[in-house]
Structure 1
Amino acid sequence: MTQRDLLILLEPGFTDPKRPGEVFICPDGAPIEGLLASDPERNTRLDIRRVPFQRPRKAAVEALSEAHQNLPVLVLGDEYPAPSDVKSLGEKRFITDTRRILALLAERHGFPKVHD
Structure 2
Amino acid sequence: MSKFVLYMINTWYDAPDQGPFYCPDCGIVEGFFIYNPEIKEQVDIIHVDFQRPRPEIIEQLGEENQGSPVLVLPDDSVSFDGIKKSMTTGRAFIDDPLSICNFLARTYNGILPHPQD
Check if 1:50 corresponds to 2:53: no
Check if 1:77 corresponds to 2:109: no
TM-score w.r.t. length of structure 1: 0.82
Q: Which is helix-richer, 1 or 2?
A: 2
Go from structure 1 to structure 2 and tell me whether the alpha carbon gap of 1:109 and 1:20 turns closer, same or farther (over 3 Å shift). Answer: farther
Stretches of structure 2 lacking an aligned partner (at least 5 in a row)? none
Aligned length: 113
> Distance in 2 between the 1:84 and 1:10 partners?
24
Detail structure 1 runs of 4+ shifted over 6 Å in the superposition: none
Go from structure 1 to structure 2 and tell me whether the alpha carbon gap of 1:100 and 1:40 turns closer, same or farther (over 3 Å shift). Answer: same
> Distance in 1 between the 2:14 and 2:51 partners?
8
> Distance in 1 between the 2:104 and 2:13 partners?
28
Percent same amino acid at aligned positions? 32
RMSD: 2.0
Q: Secondary structure in 2 aligned to 1:9?
A: strand
Go from structure 1 to structure 2 and tell me whether the alpha carbon gap of 1:95 and 1:81 turns closer, same or farther (over 3 Å shift). Answer: same
Is this contact kept in 1: 2:5–2:73, CA < 8 A?
yes
- Residue 112 of structure 1 corresponds to 111
Check if 1:14 corresponds to 2:12: yes
The alpha carbon displacement at 1:70 in A equals 1.0
TM-score w.r.t. length of structure 2: 0.81
- Residue 96 of structure 1 corresponds to 95
